[in-house]
């Protein structure tokens, strides 16, 4: 309850920080160019006929949705958390009423409106200009889509928090971070739709944790999943999110017990 009472002030502070550092969102928009490149490639390949059930319009819908979803569920805390552990800055948060977890989470939540608003407008504009777009805008589906984005955001946060916790024992975690982000993007539907993998592999990937960050919300928004299928996959994502939270708690609890800050 104490943490919940403190969140309005934390969110307000980190919102002001997010508005101040607007250049971050320019960089985020530039990063959105990658799925547009992939979209162009797959649209070109689909000119002669559907690819794994995806037409050219389907690919456009998918990657435009992926841009929006990635901005909604994307998290970037690993480098900051590692720096805090390595430099001893973490010590400041250990004597505060709320731990570093809440400060990071409040920062992520406060940045969502700016992170998703501009891409949402760009995607909406592109969807109106490109004919043949297919989106499932039924109320129940949109509610499930919003819930999936929320679960995807929490999963991403907890996984990055878990990986960042390895900084207590590993001096540099950039390699582990890069490996995780590549696997997440490749097996989670950001680079390639899961349906384009071999059927046996695709049947496995839809139940792995990475799908909850991009593939699941995108497939819901583009109408490639019915509500029952979406709910089942969301349930799997919630279970993986719980495991990620448990793992993060174990790693950080063990790390803090052995933590010795420089100069402390």
DSSP per-residue letters across 11-45: HHHHHHHHHH-THHHHHHHHHTHHHHHHHHHHHHH
Closest CA to 239 of 206, 200, 205, 207: 207
Quote the crossing angle between the two packed helices 23-31 and 33-45, to the nearest 10°: 20
Helices marked H in 167-263: 174-187, 199-205, 215-221, 227-257
Q: Note the pTM of the prediction, 2 decimals.
A: 0.82
Q: Is 193 helix (H, G, I), strand (E, B) or coil?
A: coil
Q: What pLDDT was estimated at residue 3?
A: 59
Residue 97 contacts residue 6 (beta carbons within 8 Å): yes
Give the residue from 32, 220, 8, 2 showing the smallest Cα distance to 109. 8
The predicted structure's pLDDT at residue 100:
82
If pLDDT is split at 50, 70 and 90, which confidence band does 4 have? low
The residue written with tokens 């940045």 in the block is 111
Contact of 146 with 216, CB cutoff 8 Å: no
Q: What is the pLDDT of residues 132-159, one digit of tens each?
A: 667 888 899 999 999 999 999 999 999 9
pLDDT bin (cut points 50, 70, 90) of residue 211 is very high
Rounded average pLDDT over 54-81: 86
Could you give phi then psi for residue 169, rounded to 5 degrees? -120, -20
Closest by Cα among 108, 206, 93 to 156: 108
- Segment 200-221 shows an average pLDDT of 93
Cα separation, 73 vs 35, whole angstroms:
15
> Please, which pLDDT band fits residue 193 given cuts at 50, 70 and 90?
very high
Residue 211: partners with Cβ closer than 8 Å, 6 or more residues away: 187, 188, 189, 194, 205, 233, 237
Q: Kindly report the CA angle at 65 between 41 and 230, in degrees rounded to 5?
A: 115
CA angle 244, 248, 249 (to 5 degrees): 120
Would you state the pLDDT for residue 19?
47
Q: Which of 10-24, 77-91, 118-132 has the highest mean pLDDT?
A: 77-91
107 CB contacts (<8 Å, ≥6 apart)? 14, 17, 18, 77
Question: With the C-alpha atoms ordered 77, 252, 179, 60, is the resulting torsion angle positive or negative?
Answer: negative
More confident residue, 74 or 19: 74
Report the pLDDT averaged over residues 8-26: 52
Locate the DSSP E strands across 112-160.
Answer: none
Find, among 218, 212, 201, 215, the residue nearest to 243 by Cα: 212
Predicted local distance difference test score (pLDDT) of residue 2: 57
66-93: average pLDDT: 84
The mean pLDDT value of the chain amounts to 81
Q: What is the pLDDT of residue 51?
A: 84
d(CA 236, CA 238): 5
- Cβ-contact 214, 73 below 8 angstroms: yes
pLDDT in tens, 214-263: 999 999 999 899 999 999 999 999 999 999 999 999 999 988 887 764 44
């Amino acid at each position: 309850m104490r943490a919940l009472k403190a969140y309005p002030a934390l969110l307000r502070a980190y919102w002001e920080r997010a508005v101040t550092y607007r250049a971050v969102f320019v960089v985020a928009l530039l990063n959105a160019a990658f799925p547009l490149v992939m979209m162009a490639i797959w649209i070109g390949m689909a000119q002669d006929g559907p690819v794994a059930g995806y037409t050219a319009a389907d690919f456009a819908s998918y990657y435009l949705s992926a841009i929006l979803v990635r901005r909604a569920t994307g998290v970037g805390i690993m480098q900051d958390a590692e720096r805090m552990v390595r430099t001893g800055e973490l010590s400041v948060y250990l004597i505060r009423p709320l731990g570093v977890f809440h400060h990071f989470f409040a920062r992520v939540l406060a940045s969502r409106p700016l992170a998703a608003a501009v891409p949402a407008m760009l995607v909406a504009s592109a969807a109106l200009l490109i004919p043949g777009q297919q989106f499932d805008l039924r109320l129940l589906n949109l509610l499930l889509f919003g819930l999936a984005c929320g679960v995807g955001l929490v999963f991403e946060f907890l996984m990055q928090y878990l990986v960042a916790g390895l900084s207590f024992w590993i001096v540099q975690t950039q390699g582990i971070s890069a490996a995780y982000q590549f696997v997440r993007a490749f097996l989670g539907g950001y680079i390639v739709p899961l349906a384009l993998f071999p059927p046996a592999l695709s049947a496995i990937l839809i139940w792995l944790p990475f799908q909850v960050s991009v593939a699941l919300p995108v497939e819901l928004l583009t109408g490639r999943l019915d509500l029952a299928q979406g709910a089942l996959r969301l349930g799997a994502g919630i279970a993986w999110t719980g495991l990620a939270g448990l793992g993060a708690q174990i790693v950080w609890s063990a790390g803090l017990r052995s933590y010795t800050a420089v100069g402390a």
